[in-house]
Amino acid sequence: MAISTADFKNGKAILIDGKPCVIIEFQHVKPGKGGAFVRTKIRDIRTGRVNDLTFRSGEKFDEIRMDTKEMQFLYSDGDGFYFMDTNDYNQVSLPAEAVGDAAKWLKENDVASLQYAGDELVGVEPPMFVELEVVETEPGFKGDTVQGGNKPATLETGAVVQVPMFVNNGDVLKIDTRDGRYITRV
């Protein structure tokens, strides 16, 4: 199915010169002189390379069907991440590059969304909110309050987030994985 530049959305998969690509971000530009155009930042699914491309407004591309599969994260052995389909118990191994930044939010037994463009893995989306334990942070001091500022804390998955001064080692925190923001203590 062909789509126009007017139908672009972040995360949409399209074919560009026979290569499957995912739109990371785009911007419609209408200059004072000349025709409108679209600036895009795309990622080649096969190589992972990110390119900045410009297209004329109204240009057509073939769309690639996107599928999402919910899978349970089992474990990581350093080289790969292992997921299991909870419906048929099939296991999938993914290299660390395919998981990307989602790795710092994945904890054993969490359910993640694996996104496919056709038959090729595009990315891994962790749950929107995760509960992780603080393994290392500087101690808070008497008089520190909620408005007293922030400090870095290392979580059990290795992620580092900014937390309020009253958070201590061993606390379990709710984190928003979209921007890595502290929400609350659990």
Mean pLDDT on 144-170: 83
Residue whose pair of structure tokens reads 């969304």 in the numeric block: 113
The predicted pLDDT at position 70 comes to 92
| 66: number of Cβ within 10 Å | 14
pLDDT at 135 over 60: yes
Phi, psi of 112 (to 5 degrees): -120, 160
The overall average pLDDT reported for the chain is: 87
Contact predicate 163/141, CB 8 Å:
no
Task: Give the helix/strand (H/E) hosting 177.
Answer: none
Which pTM was predicted? Answer: 0.69
pLDDT, tens digit, 9 for 90 and up, residues 157-168: 889 999 988 888
**Quick check: helix, strand or coil at residue 90?**
coil
Rounded CA Rg of the chain: 21
Backbone angles phi, psi at 102, to 5 degrees: -60, -20
Q: Which domains does the chain have, with CATH numbers?
A: 2-63 (2.30.30.30), 66-125 (2.40.50.140), 129-185 (2.40.50.140)
Q: What is the pLDDT of residues 18-39, one digit of tens each?
A: 888 888 899 999 998 888 999 9
Average pLDDT over residues 60-73: 89
Question: Is the distance from CB of 111 to CB of 70 less than 8 angstroms?
Answer: yes
